[in-house]
Amino acid sequence: MRPPPGTLTRLHPTRLRPTRLGLAFLGLTVVTLVGCINYALSLGYAVTFLLGGVWVVTAAHATRAGRAVSATLAAPAEAVAGTDAAFVARVSSAGPALTAALRAEAGRAPVQTMRHVPAGETVTVTLPVPAPRRGKLALTRLQVVALDPLGLWEARRALPVPEPLTVFPAPEVNAPPPPARTVPGAGEGAGRTRGDEEFSGLRAYQPGDSPRQVAWRHAARTGVLLTRETDAPAGTVLALDWADTARLPDPEARLSRLAAWVNAARRTGTPFCLTLPGRTLPMGGGEAHARAALAALAGHAPLPAAAAPARRATPPAPLPGSVLRFTLFALAVALAPAALRQPVWVTLMVAGVLGYSAARTLRPLPAPPTVLLGLAAGVTAALLYARYGTLLGRDAGTALLALLVALKTAETRTRRDARLLALLGLFVTLTHFFFSQGPLAAAHAALSVLLLLAALGGWTDPLTGPPTGARPLRGAGLLALQAAPLAALLFVLFPRPDGPLWQLPVQDAARTGLADQISAGDFASLAQSRAVAFRADFAGALPAPAERYWRGPVYEAYDGVRWNQVRVRGPAPSLELFGPTFTYTLTLEPSGKPWLLALDSPAVLPSGAFLTNAFQAVTPRPATGRTRYAFQGRAARLGLRESEERLAFDQQLPEGESPRARALAASWQGLAPEARVEAALAFLRSGGFAYTLSPPALPERDRVDAFLFGTRRGFCEHYASAFTFLMRAAGLPARIVGGYLGGEVNPDGSYLIVRQQDAHAWTEVWLPGRGWVRVDPTASVAPARVNAGLPTALTRPAASAAPAPTPLHRAALRLDALQNRWNTWVAGYDGSQQRALLSRAGVGRIGGATYLGVAGALLALALLPALLAARLRPRSADPAARALHDLTRRLRLPRAPGETPTAYAQRAARQFPAQASAIADAVRAYHAARYAPDRHAEALRELRAAVRRVRRR
């Protein structure tokens, strides 16, 4: 048996499950996690784990809300076919404010209504259930659902289903009047019938009797309700008969006309009788008689067949403008960093679309046609492809994504669309880490995530959403703080693979750095840039300035203008290491090049890297972001046993190129190899050469002659190119090595900062018995380039040390030290860093028993706040209300929504008569504490004592 409507019944246990939005949020988190794994985005890990923590924490909030919510449902007095039956529910929250939904199913038609329930209050909710046909309307399922602040989870509780509701036939509109019939015996003394002319006696009151017929004087004197009966002479009466509707072919139309006649008699108070096939209602009047007649019409057989639930083609309700504007603002903040790198026209288009979407929330403007939006997307894709040559690359892909997200705002019409904007904004935020993972990028990501979560929470409220002020931001900040422990734990312990899962073609914008080929003047442009190329952190003492040659690409093929890298076949040359080992870590900025810049010569290479036969450290997968590499190096003799093919190749010169330089070098061929090198260096030292960033241009033909015997002004590549030419002309194998020289010592972090302006080129000469020997011809002209750095070498070429840093420069070094620590422990936290940290902590290898045990224990601690929040019983902020709640817990008898304390005490006394006196005392004490502010503290103590006197059940 179903309980009658409005009856309080203990609710079923809470069932927790994610909403569709919650599943989409989880899917976004999984997608971003896979992307972070593949592209080694350390800050992306942090944001992804924060979103995952929010997903877990909101589950705890939904659980708590589900424990706090309760509801009862009352059926309407009557319902008419073709309309909505307005069921009335009372939903209350015994704890925090929450968003609740009532869901029901009538047949196969789902129905839902949502309301915001303030903390500790009860709200009345109307649940409109479609009643498409006459007969019985039965709710097959009834639930009250509590949502978390973001709408990611829902806690469901089943409610008792009320008895089926009788749906009356829809009355015919403008129905003709019913036929009148004459009954014999009219007049005084003749037969009488029910009417309203003369008093005929009193009878017991029945529900549905008109209040005008109640004998109120008799009730006031005796306390008993009686109803006056009247009658009239039998004459012309209202007799409704099924046969009177015979002209209507449809049975439903005949019932509709009869229902119209019954309602007309109901309104006028006219007595009537009703005759249906197989059933007759005698003459009668009043509300109860009319409802009985309508019920008979509703149950007349055969009942109409149940039709499939039709979808209502109702337009979506207008979105609340304040919440939509806040969502657009959050999305604009998420898209803002893209303006620094994408084409200006893309930024203008994004700003224009967002501005138009915001303007539509303030005044009625037409929505852009879908065709126009599709055309804009197609044209943008074509223009981006024309510029970048692909749409899959980092720059083109993120620019196209920004515009597509902006276009989505122009067609946002429903809450589902608005929530999707917030999810897209979170995805866009993580794409910025492809370009930077510095502290500013982290600060922007934190602000963007906070705003987008607040916007997402704004759409949880079913009416207008929370005000776009401090409250949603405060709620989002609280969720982020609660999720932070879990996010930090996962950031440290989640396994970091050493390589990507897959490779995609990435077309990046041009980067500054060493090139695949060089010619005179190329390095001068790099010298203008103070951008950081890499940072080197040594485990011990820093190497001397003369040993800070960071080896990069090796250039061996010369065509008279440019030096290029080549692959010379042959066995691997010899490498003889000697001397002490030094350990250092390089943090390379993204360059898109495969070479790793190591000191001569690396004894232990990073995982996956290898040495070419030109002793160049390279990696098969160039890093697209800031990357850390660990090296161990020792002094070495390179290529003592070099292949004859390579030595011959490294003596080749273009035919007829620079004859004066050839003649000068030929004059040294009778000297010993080392003496030839010294002769060339002496020529440079004594030839009046100058070191400058702005040398004169050299001709395409005989460039070395023009430099050595003409301009005599150049940068490092000028001297390296000319010296290598002289060595080859003198009969010695020689080649150019590109890389960096020096590095600025940061005393705050005891590491070297190597900038793009430190790019350098030098010469390697192969000498018998010594192998490849480094010779820096630039040092012969400007010794300060080696000992003091580029700025000093340009102004004081013979200086032996750099000047003391200024206070402003020292402050910049301190900031760089903070940046370096950030790169080490946050942006550069990778698999090797993780393994080293876990090893120092004694956790052991990832996946081992110790690791799993420690990770499980820490995970339980990180989840403890969420678990406590889920288990926390909802309690009111009012101490008197909390004491009354304790009374209900002691009796294990919950209060009904909207039930007064007095009504609750009466119900509890009936159920527990042995404690009726104690319950009454507790409720009286509650009233005294609740409504006696002058003695509030004392009244609260008496209330608590009275509650404790009630025995627990």
- Catalytic residues, which ones? 716, 760, 776
Phi and psi at residue 328, to the nearest 5°: -65, -40
The SS3 call for residue 690 is strand
Compute the distance between CA of residue 325 and CA of residue 76 in angstroms, rounded to an integer: 39
Sequence letter at residue 737? V
Residue 354: CB atoms within 10 Å = 20
Which run of H or of E encompasses 715?
none
> Which two three-digit tokens encode residue 233?
């002479």
Q: What angle in degrees, to the nearest 10, is found between the helix axes of 20-39 and 415-431?
A: 10
Contact residues for 949 (Cβ-Cβ < 8 A; gap 6+): 918, 921, 922
Residues in the chain: 953
User: What does the alpha-carbon distance between residue 469 and residue 484 come to, in Å, rounded to a whole number?
Assistant: 23
Q: Distance between CA 948 and CA 922 in Å, rounded?
A: 9
CA-to-CA separations, 526 to 451, 509, 760, in angstroms, rounded: 40, 17, 9
- From first CA to last CA, the distance across the chain in angstroms is 27
Burial of 497 (0-12, 13-18, 19+ CB in 10 A): exposed
- In degrees, to the nearest 5, what angle opens at C-alpha 838 toward C-alphas 834 and 841? 145
Residue 96 and residue 61: Cα distance in Å, rounded? 10
- Cα of 75 vs its chain's centroid, Å: 42
Dihedral Cα 798, 799, 800, 802, nearest 10 deg: -150
Left (φ > 0), alpha (ψ -120 to 50) or beta: where does 185 sit?
A: left
Helices (H), 730-848: 777-781, 784-787, 790-795, 807-822, 831-840
In angstroms, the CA 643 to CA 572 distance is 8
Q: Rounded to whole angstroms, how far apart are CA atoms 439 and 823?
A: 9
Residues 698, 327: Cα–Cα separation, whole Å: 59
The CB density around residue 450, as the number of other CB atoms within 10 Å, is: 18
**What gap in Å lies between CA 91 and CA 114, rounded to an integer?**
10
Which residues touch 83 (CB under 8 Å, ≥6 apart)? 131, 170
Determine contact, residues 134/297, Cβ cutoff 8 Å.
yes
111, 128 contact by CB (below 8 A): yes
Three-class SS string for 116-176?
A: EECCCCEEEEEEEEEECCCEEECEEEEEEEEECCCCCEEEEEECCCCCCEEEECCCCCCCC
Tokens of 391: 């749409």
Q: Given CA atoms 874, 875, 881, 882 in this order, what sign does their dihedral have?
A: positive
